[in-house]
Structure 1
Amino acid sequence: MAQLPNIAIIIGSTRDSRFADKPAAWMLKQAQARGDMTVELVDLRDFDLPLFNEMGGNKFVPTQDPAALTWQAKIAEFDGYIFVTAEYNHSVTGALKNALDQAYVEWNRKPMGAIGYGGLGAARAVEHLRNIAVELEMVPVRGAVHIAGGDFMSVHPLGANGPIEDIEDHLLGGAKELLNDIVWWANAAKAAKA
């Protein structure tokens, strides 16, 4: 029997006041309820990544920074990625962009998707993330989860600060599609590599 795909849910914000923990925990729960993958929460706070300062990406030259090497080793463990992202000025957080830049070959030929949150559900950030992923030779999937508008304000601390389960009915369809896509592409990529 083939080994289940190992998927990382990557928290893409490092701010002290971040909201990311709430949707990340919810997405982790959705993924763990399935029997077709293993999943791990990966928090950028746990990796003291400097701003990217290498001669080039590790596709072209070996990485020198020990923190970046630790990050690359962690990322290499996974067959696919789900990024938890806010939207900052129509894009992903600086911390997430820097983390993406700190690896290259580890991302290659693996699926990625996102759960985004904000006024527009981080729709523009998720689209930008997909473009970055293409350059890193990942496979962006169609499915995504967007926590937007009134739903966002009903679960965010600046609003009603309710539990994600209060809006879960609005998110489950997107989450199922995202997880289905990630598993399908992870299995396809693993089979192609074998």
Structure 2
Amino acid sequence: MSASGTQTPAAAASTGAPARHTLAVLVGSTREGRFAPVVGGWFARQAAARAHLDVDVIDLDTVRPYELRYGTPEFEEFAGRIAAADAFVVVTPEYNHSFPAPLKHAIDLLNPQWHAKPVGFVSYGGISGGLRAVEQLRLVFAELHAMTVRETVSFPLAWTLFDKNGEPHDPAPATKAADTLLDQLTWWALTLREGRAARPYGA
């Protein structure tokens, strides 16, 4: 264990468990009547079930990115939460073949905090399941020197797939997809964290 009580990568490797790290889940919709809390809440529960993950749910409806001003305590808190994360999952709907404007603004507020970190996606929408929004987000994060993982979790016609408790009617496929995404994110999060610790990332 480290001085802070966090398991070091070497100690984790000796036990076969991944080293503890932080996953930030960004809930990207702020629209009135949004379905994002259902999808985001479900995924956050999947992630929190993993003992090695500290899950930080960053709901943009609470953050209110358009109201953030550089240097204010609110801005510094948001920047600090992004900087502290080892990996990210962006929960996004698809609006007219793209993703929500508040999500783009929130991403654009920061730069080095995203560098050399992995990003995964959980998307939802109509028949496409939000995948067209994800493809555009990949371009945005590439510009920010972040590494997007291939696998995604996607919910087509999402409002038909969840029960009143926010759980999928058929949980097996969604859980399998989430597990695959979280496995890949863990590998990248630890690998890139070790790389950043060994040498500064040059952007």
Instruction: Check if 1:97 corresponds to 2:100.
Output: no
Residue 70 to residue 40, structure 1, CA distance change in 2 (3 Å): closer
Q: CA deviation at 1:69?
A: 3.4
Report the Cα distance in structure 2 between the residues aligned to 1:154 and 1:122, rounded to whole angstroms.
Answer: 15
Instruction: Check if 1:77 corresponds to 2:93.
Output: no
SS at match of 2:194: helix
Matches within 5 A, 1:174-189: 174-189=177-192
Letter in 2 for 1:177: T
Instruction: Check if 1:134 corresponds to 2:134.
Output: no
Q: CA deviation at 1:65?
A: 4.9
Deviating 4+ runs (over 6 angstroms): none
Q: CA deviation at 1:88?
A: 1.1
Which residue does 1:146 correspond to in 2? 154
Q: CA deviation at 1:164?
A: 2.7
Preserved contact between residue 154 and residue 161 of structure 1 (Cα < 8 Å): no
Selected match of 2:174 from 154, 160, 171:
171
* Superposition TM-score, scaled by structure 2 size: 0.81
Give the length in aligned residue pairs: 179
Letter in 2 for 1:28: A
Report the Cα distance in structure 1 between the residues aligned to 2:80 and 2:180, rounded to whole angstroms.
Answer: 29
Report the Cα distance in structure 2 between the residues aligned to 1:28 and 1:118, rounded to whole angstroms.
Answer: 19
Residue 87 to residue 77, structure 1, CA distance change in 2 (3 Å): same
SS at match of 1:124: helix
Preserved contact between residue 68 and residue 103 of structure 1 (Cα < 8 Å): no
Which whole-Å deviations, capped at 9, do the CAs of 1:63-99 have from their partners, x for residues lacking one? 8352433321221111110011000121110010010
Unaligned runs of 5+ in 2: 1-6, 9-18, 198-203
Report the Cα distance in structure 2 between the residues aligned to 1:47 and 1:82, rounded to whole angstroms.
Answer: 16
* Superposition TM-score, scaled by structure 1 size: 0.84
Preserved contact between residue 7 and residue 78 of structure 1 (Cα < 8 Å): yes
RMSD: 2.0
Unaligned runs of 5+ in 1: 53-62
Instruction: Check if 1:111 corresponds to 2:114.
Output: no
Residue 64 to residue 103, structure 1, CA distance change in 2 (3 Å): same
Report the Cα distance in structure 2 between the residues aligned to 1:163 and 1:49, rounded to whole angstroms.
Answer: 26
Which residue does 2:4 correspond to in 1? none
Report the Cα distance in structure 1 between the residues aligned to 2:79 and 2:160, rounded to whole angstroms.
Answer: 36
